[in-house]
Structure 1
């Protein structure tokens, strides 16, 4: 583990190119989330990619209680459900999958092998009554990152390039993510102009960003600002700042679970009771088991 991997995300803008971006590296937080379940390597890697993507996209939101949720789902796929969400720097995620069918795929199954004809839903829940919006794209690309690029292009008409790198060894799993977008003229409430993939400003930024290698993204000797300097040192101005520190945040708690159980009739609560007289509720995200006594009617 190194300081470079536990640093906050780097937020940056290129004013002369009408572009903004994010760079994240995950180590401790990632392993805290993955370690809650006994995931095979292939599932760990796809969940690590999803967590890194949500960390990138979540950092695009204002830190005011809004939530970003990514959900991948299939009908009859090996991965039955993947859910990751982000709120004010807190990340959580889990995967439900068919372990027996996964074992038949070999060491490095493709995205299609895992999800089949699945889809990816990305939902932004904005706080303070500002609304909720969602985009859905098919999982017909080679990676979750490519599907997210399609989401931004199709649902938000924002040209976007995303690069994700993941590695794992005996010490655990590490990931890095880079996202850059072209913000069109008129972004602030006016008609969106010049949003096209062949815009000269965007072509320049995308070509430079595409040179990022897997090794550069994961190199702990090169922090986020040094990486930006490598890419954009010829630009007149690059503005960079630290984002919200990323943490594991499951948000499950006894009071909320007890409140939910209390909404069930006594007869249904009786059916939930285990041999020790308690109702056991497992959290899918963190694998904690809560033992709750049946709740008397209010």
Structure 2
């Protein structure tokens, strides 16, 4: 029997936290996320222009949505978009247990010539998107798809369709706010034979249950995703109120989590031969390491 979110004894979820839900009667699962403080912490590491803050905000949302699909603690999702001839040469973000980080490398002069709202093809040209899931035990699963479509979300839908054979809809919204930027997203998937331990090669994109779920999920608007007064539980309930049962699972708290440290870089440098370490040193005998994610420099002495 359904219970409206407003009657729950737990507080509703509004920002910087993941929310999962399942529709048992339709064999579907979903994730909702809204980033506020987290996205602004990540963006504050660099003075990104507006088109890049929009792009990275979208990427962080996608990283959280897809990373939350990992069932094991200690697993990591890494998303990397790259091209050899685009304005954006590299976009990378990762997610691990609620910890998020991201970075974009781009040509400032070329970006200035694209106008206020460049599309994905204008930013990347003929690039590719690599999505890597890594388990806590170190097993890695990677899928690579072309950067096609108008948004990163569309490229991720292609990944799930081609690499995972899982019908998926993803919607992402990002905009400037009075305090910086807010970004949000919805991911819904159809798993016809249940979530656990099934073969996916026979998945039907035209399954009646999926067509029903897709039609409802497609009605989500950018305004609803970004509305600070609308809880993520309310989003799920609004979309799928026709279904008999909606199971809500509150997920991880989200935070910026760059894992750089002097100790970590020292351990990496120690793996290089002594002559190579000496070649890296500056005049003061230190090796200066710059973390692109958090824009911090570390002076490593050997």
TM-score, normalising length: structure 1: 0.93
Structure 1 residue aligned with 2:242: 234
**Cα distance per residue 1:93-132 (max 9 Å; x no partner):** 1011111111111111111010000000000111225x21
Q: Does 1:74 align with 2:55?
A: no
| In structure 2, C-alpha distance between the alignment counterparts of 1:6 and 1:231, rounded to whole Å | 19
What do residues 182-203 of structure 1 show as CA deviations (whole Å, max 9, x unaligned)? 0022653344476112111001
Equivalent position to 2:99, from 90, 99, 109: 90
CA distance in 1, matches of 2:13, 2:252: 15
- Which residue number corresponds to residue 190 of structure 2? 182
Structure 1 runs of 4+ aligned residues shifted over 6 Å read none
Of 274-283 and 236-245, deviating more is: 274-283
Alpha-carbon deviations, 1:255-281, whole Å to 9, x = none? Answer: 111122223344333332234432211
Whether 2:122 is the aligned partner of 1:118: answer: no
Give CA deviations for 1:63-101 in whole Å, capped at 9, x if unaligned.
Answer: 411111000000111111111011111111101111111
Q: Is the 8 A contact 2:13 2:233 kept in 1?
A: no
Aligned mate of 2:175, from 154, 167, 172: 167
Question: In structure 2, how many angstroms separate the alpha carbons of the residues matched to 1:182 and 1:16?
Answer: 11
* One of 155, 158, 161 as aligned partner of 1:150: 158
Aligned to 1:273: 281
2:137 paired with 1:128 = yes
The residue correspondences of 1:1-298 to structure 2 (distance < 5 A) are: 5-129=14-138, 131-185=139-193, 187-192=195-200, 195-293=203-301, 295=302
Q: Provide the C-alpha distance between the structure 2 equivalents of 1:158 and 1:169, rounded to a whole number of angstroms.
A: 34
Give the gaps of 5 or more residues in structure 1. none
Query: CA separation in 1, counterparts of 2:42 and 2:290?
Result: 16
> How many correspondences in the alignment?
291
Separation in 2 of the partners of 1:24 and 1:60? 13
**Maintained 8 Å contact 2:79/2:129:** yes
Root mean square deviation, CA, Å = 1.6
Range moving further from structure 2, 284-293 or 163-172: 163-172
Post-superposition CA distance 1:164-212 (Å, at most 9, x none):
0111134201011100000022653344476112111001111011111
TM-score by length of 2: 0.92
CA deviations on 1:29-81 (whole Å, 9 max, x unpaired) are 10100110111111111111111001000111124111110000001111111
Greater Cα shift, 265-274 or 82-91: 265-274
1: CA distance between counterparts of 2:125 and 2:201?
A: 37
Give the Cα separation in 2 of the matches to 1:58 and 1:77.
27
**SS of the residue aligned with 1:6?**
coil
Q: CA deviation at 1:17?
A: 0.3
